[in-house]
Structure 1
Amino acid sequence: MATTLPQVLRDAARRFGDHPAYVDGDRVLSFAALLERVRAVAAGYRARGLEPGGRVVVWAPNSIDWAVAALAVTYAGGTLVPVNSRYTGPEVADVVDRTGAVLVVAADGFLGRTQVADLRAASTLATVAEVLEVTRLDDVAGDPGGIDGIDAVADAVAADDVADILFTSGTTGRSKGAMSAHRQTIGVAQVWADLGGVRADDRYLVVNPFFHSFGYKIGIVVGLLTGATLYPVATFDVDETMRLIERERITLLPGAPTIYQSLLGAPGRAERDLSSLRLAVTGAAVVPVVLIERMRAAAPEGLAIEQVVTAFGMTEAVVATMCRQDDSAETVATTCGRAIPGMEVRVDAAAGEAGELLLRGEHVMLGYLDDPAATAEAIDADGWLHTGDVGTVDDAGNLRITDRLKDMYISGGFNVYPAEVEQALARLDGVADVAVVGSPDERLGEVGTAYVVRVGQPAGADLTAEAVVAFARERLANFKVPRHVVFVEALPRNLSGKVLKTALRED
């Protein structure tokens, strides 16, 4: 069995050959052609200074080019560092500087923005040899001599080498880079594919962003392991998604609950034939029971998807639990399933009671980049990862998430950490104090509500909710921007001075 991503890519080219690996609009790329394109770009990276172990930041939306850019990093022996396509220049600059990235591959102009200029304005990019545009990878490709030599570099990649670093914010507001080895990235993708029964004749619409483990590991890597054809989606549009499902006879559509809620509520759904869908996997947020019921139900009330399963995962472990194909509708709707092969699940509480969820096993991250203290806090001496989530495990081993120890909330499938938002808003003139909590939202699951204490006269007198939102929008990705602003005289605090966010959420 292949234990490195270069090996997986080569095996896919050998096994699936001219079978389409990607379909992106009018562009079709076979598995064999994918390998050749990755080899050429990997050689180009090496010519630009990427050595084994070097890091490359990829900042772009889903596309064939994203997949090529990312796979070429590991083929050249490097470490992939994906960043959110909605991040601002300062947010990406922080990741670039902290990882000492050698190269940055960016989608300049995505959503009408000036990514490259914004990045250069936010950092000296001291370690970066070149900033490359993801849509111009042909210009990156190395010369034939370099391409021939790149295979020896790929051969030297080891299963325990760090394949990728995915950043996830912490409750302190400072992001942390979760490191995974090649064997871990491959292993969790293989288990997910096996449990989902993914096949070479599947057509997989990848709405989950490639910068996220759900899109990268459970998308790109699953496709390589199974031969499924991937259809990358750069930005989610419900009408376009339905059109693609109908026209291309899409069979797989994993995603956050928001995706399915949008499909179920789409005005034109009754006119679309979505009957080709056979597998849906969700679990990026607490999943409403009624949503699972409607996904399983026959049209026009539901989507009539043959197999709907829920799962639980996090950046530090990707996937930990998952329902099985023969699970009852009630199990799927009310739990996150059982531990996947290679993983253990335990709740730190008496039997039958709720407690903190702990995970241990093959797919738990190696640790946080350059942060041994945070790693030791997250993973104890016995190897248990402390998730910060509260749940219960029933007699059959099925996990139910009941609450969060941390203040993190999930908006449209993306994790939002209030401390980061609070730190940004604290810099706004007129803000004396601020706390952010997640509030229920029918479409996105949760959105941010900022409770703001104005400073005294005159600076804070004219501060408006619109100004608070606008300030946040300039500094944070859209999903982190609070949708509601409430002005209060003071924040509720306990005797030690800690903000009582439970009281705010109840409010």
Structure 2
Amino acid sequence: MADTIPAALGDAADRFGDHPAYVADGEVVSFLELLRRVRRTARGYVALGLQPGDRVCVWAPNSIGWVVAALATSYAGGVLVPVNSRYTGHEVADVVERTGARLVVVEDGFLGRTQIADLRAAGELTGVTVLDLADLPDLDRGSVTTEQVDAIAEAVSADDVADILFTSGTTGRSKGAMSAHRQTVGVARAWGELGGVTGQDRYLVINPFFHSFGYKVGIVTGLLTGATLYPLTTFDLDETMRIIENERITVLPGAPTIYSSLLSAPGRAERDLSSLRLAVTGAAVVPVVLIERMRQELQIDQVVTAFGMTEAVVVTMARDGDPADLVASTCGRAIPGMETRIDPETDELLVRGDYVMLGYLDDPDATAAAIDADGWLHTGDAGTLDADGNLAITDRLKDMYISGGFNVYPAEIEQTLARLDGVQDVAVVGVPDERLGEVGRAYVVGSVAPDTVIAFAQERLANFKVPRQVTLVDALPRNLSGKVLKNELRDATGG
């Protein structure tokens, strides 16, 4: 059983051959062709001086080229560092410097920007080679042979660092979470097995490849299962519905916002989305009403919730056959190889097991603060576990506020308000109050009056949980993983 990314790629070419691995931009690439392109690119990397263990940053949107650039990094013995496609040149220069990257692969011109020029203007790139993604097929391979790169790929160990994924950085400076090949491959295999993913599946990848949801349970799961992946460069509702209908997409993982957007999309009723069989969503908190509507209105056979984070890609997951109310109200139970427990004093979720990161890049203090002496990763999420081990996330610990002496978890309020007609999206934060210390302020996207929101909450929640203020907004600030940037909301209110 393959336990490195190069081995998984080789096995996929042997097992699935001419079966389509990727379909995008009018191009169909088989598993054999994918291996051929990866080998050619890896030869170019080695010819440029890449050594085993060197870091390669890939700064680009989802595409077949991204996949080739990333897999070639592993095939050449390097360490992949995916970079957020929306980052500025300064942000990428910081990642390049912190990782000591030898190569940076860029899609120059994405969204009309000048990425290569911006990167060169942002910092010293001494000893760093910057490549345009479009130029990879024509890389000079010099005297490096396919046999040489195959030998390098075969020498990659399951315990070698495969990738460094930077946290989303919603609070403070992002940190680089390091994973070994055995972890990246193992978690992708576990996710695929629990989702029942096979070579008959057609998998639309909206999640960005620079995120673990797109890279590990997207690209790597595809290699292990033979599923055909359809990468989407940017999320567009009409294009998403067109691809689902025309290509008979069966697997659609994504952040909750993807499904809520589909549910409210103009023209959805005219589209045939009935091919969808598996939807997997996850965030700190997923609205229960959203799960219900995905089952009823989108008619997705298997709607599964899961919990994971950059530091431990998949921790818990619901299973096929779990009752609807369990799927709607929990993130499922620990996947094979992982353990969960709740700290009795703080209600914090602690996780331990095969897929917890090796540690943060060059930051032993942050690593020690995150992973205790017994190997438990402190997630920063508050939660509960039922008798069967099913996890319910109550909120981020840092999002909890205290109103009149009572602990208030905004997620509970958000779940309630999500059921109000006219509320499309909602986030609650604590803001200063002279009498009570803090009170809730609800930011609401939708067509509903603030007084109606408060009245609805008063009927369904204890008084100390009812938001005292409601602000209507056009959209909530979110990162590309779908998480609401509550620090931005707090900064806007002085909270």
TM-score calculated relative to the size of structure 2: 0.82
3-state secondary structure, aligned to 2:373: coil
8 Å contact kept, 1:55–1:100: yes
Q: CA deviation at 1:402?
A: 0.5
- Aligned to 1:105, what secondary structure does the other structure show? strand
Contact 2:187/2:355 (8 A) holds in 1 = yes
2:250/2:275 contact within 8 Å kept: yes
CA contact (8 A) 1:103 1:131 kept: yes
Who is 2:179 aligned against? 180
Q: What letter corresponds to residue 341 of structure 2 in structure 1? A: R
Which residue number corresponds to residue 364 of structure 1?
A: 356
Counterpart in 1 of 2:110?
A: 110
Partner of 2:407: none
Q: How does 1:384-395 map to 2 (within 5 A)?
A: 384-395=376-387
Letter of the structure 1 residue corresponding to residue 36 of structure 2: E
- Quote the residue 1:347 is aligned against: 342
Match of 2:472 in 1: none
Alignment of 1:85-484 (within 5 A): 85-128=85-128, 130-140=129-139, 142-143=141-142, 145-169=144-168, 173-297=172-296, 302-349=297-344, 355-406=347-398, 440-442=443-445
SS in 2 for 1:392: strand
Asked whether the equivalents of residues 196 and 279 of structure 1 are also in contact (C-alpha less than 8 Å), the reply is yes
CA change 1:374–1:171 in 2 (3 A) is farther
Once the two structures are TM-superposed, the CA of residue 6 in structure 1 deviates from its matched residue by 0.5
Aligned to 1:35: 35
Q: Structure 1 residues 375 and 486, CA, compared in 2 at 3 Å: closer, same or farther? A: closer
How far does residue 284 in structure 1 lie from its aligned partner after superposition?
A: 2.5
Q: CA deviation at 1:364?
A: 0.2
Inter-partner Cα distance in structure 1 for 2:118 and 2:133: 16
Letter in 2 for 1:388: G
The residue number in structure 2 matching 1:73 is 73
Cα deviations by residue, 1:46-101 (Å, 9 ceiling, x for unpaired): 11111000000000000000000000000000000001001111111110000000
- What is the CA–CA distance in structure 1 between the aligned matches of 2:485 and 2:114, rounded to whole Å? 20
Q: Give the distance between the partners of 1:480 and 1:106, measured in 2 at CA.
A: 27
Matched residue SS, 2:246? helix
Q: Judging changes above 3 Å, is the alpha-carbon distance between structure 1 residues 480 and 285 closer, same or farther for their aligned structure 2 residues?
A: closer
* Deviation, structure 1 residue 406: 3.1
8 Å Cα contact 1:343/1:362 also seen in 2: yes
Aligned equivalents of 1:53, 1:69: Cα separation in 2: 16
CA offsets, 1:188-218, max 9 Å, x none?
0000000000010100000000000000000
- What is the RMSD of the two structures over their aligned residues, measured on CA atoms? 2.6
Give the conservation status (yes or no) of the 8 Å contact 1:203–1:231. yes
Q: 1:362 to 1:295 in 2, by over 3 A?
A: same
**How far apart, CA to CA, are the structure 2 residues paired with 1:26 and 1:382?**
50
Which residue identity lines up with residue 347 of structure 1 in the other structure?
I
Q: Specify the alignment match of 1:7 in structure 2.
A: 7
The alpha carbon displacement at 1:487 in A equals 7.0
Distance apart, 1:317 and its partner CA: 0.3
Amino acid aligned to 2:70:
A
Letter in 2 for 1:174: R
Following TM superposition, by how much is the alpha carbon of 1:481 offset from its aligned partner in structure 2, in angstroms? 11
Q: Could you say which residue in structure 1 is the equivalent of 2:19?
A: 19
CA contact (8 A) 2:331 2:390 kept: yes
Q: Residues of 1 paired with 2:169 and 2:226: CA distance?
A: 36
Percent of aligned positions with the same letter in both sequences?
Answer: 70
In 2: Cα distance, 1:358 partner to 1:286 partner:
17
Secondary structure, in 3 states, of the residue corresponding to 1:190? helix
Residue in 2 that maps onto 1:459: none
How much has 1:136 moved relative to structure 2?
2.0
After superposition, the C-alpha distances for 1:315-373 in whole angstroms (9 at most, x for unaligned) are 000000000001111111110000000000000017xxx70000000000000000011
Secondary structure at the aligned position of 1:336 is classed as coil
Describe the SS at the equivalent of 2:309. Answer: coil
In 2 relative to 1, CA 329–210 (structure 1 residues): closer, same or farther, beyond 3 Å? same
1:227-285: CA deviation from partner (whole Å, max 9, x where unpaired): 00000000000011000000000000000000000100011100000000000000134
Work out the CA distance in 2 between the residues paired with 1:53 and 1:3. Answer: 17
Q: Which one-letter code corresponds to 1:274 in the other structure?
A: L
- Shift of residue 173, structure 1, vs aligned partner: 1.2
Give the superposition deviation at 1:155.
1.0
SS at match of 1:18: coil
Task: Give the partner amino acid of 1:97.
Answer: E
1:127 Cα shift?
3.5
- Which runs of 5 or more residues in structure 2 are unaligned? 401-409, 412-428, 430-439, 447-476, 478-482
The separation in 2 between residues aligned to 1:42 and 1:284, in whole angstroms, is 35
- Mapped to 1, the partners of 2:193 and 2:205 lie a distance apart of 18
* Deviation of the 1:438 alpha carbon: 10
Contact 1:257/1:285, CA 8 A, preserved across alignment: no
What SS does the corresponding residue of 1:320 show, helix, strand or coil?
Answer: strand
**Equivalents in 1 of 2:290, 2:240: separation in Å?**
18
Give the direction of change, closer, same or farther, for the CA distance of 1:441–1:119 in structure 2 (3 Å limit): farther
Matched with 2:450 is none
Query: Do the aligned residues in 1 keep the contact of 2:171 with 2:487 (CA within 8 Å)?
Result: no
Partner of 1:84: 84
* CA distance in 2: counterparts of 1:194 and 1:438, whole angstroms: 42
Q: Is the 8 A contact 2:16 2:31 kept in 1?
A: yes
Give the Cα–Cα distance (whole angstroms) in 2 for the partners of residues 83 and 438 of structure 1.
Answer: 34
After superposition, what is the alpha-carbon deviation per residue over 1:27-47, rounded to whole angstroms, capped at 9, x for unaligned?
A: 110000100100010010011
Letter in 2 for 1:7: A
In structure 1, the partner of 2:473 is none
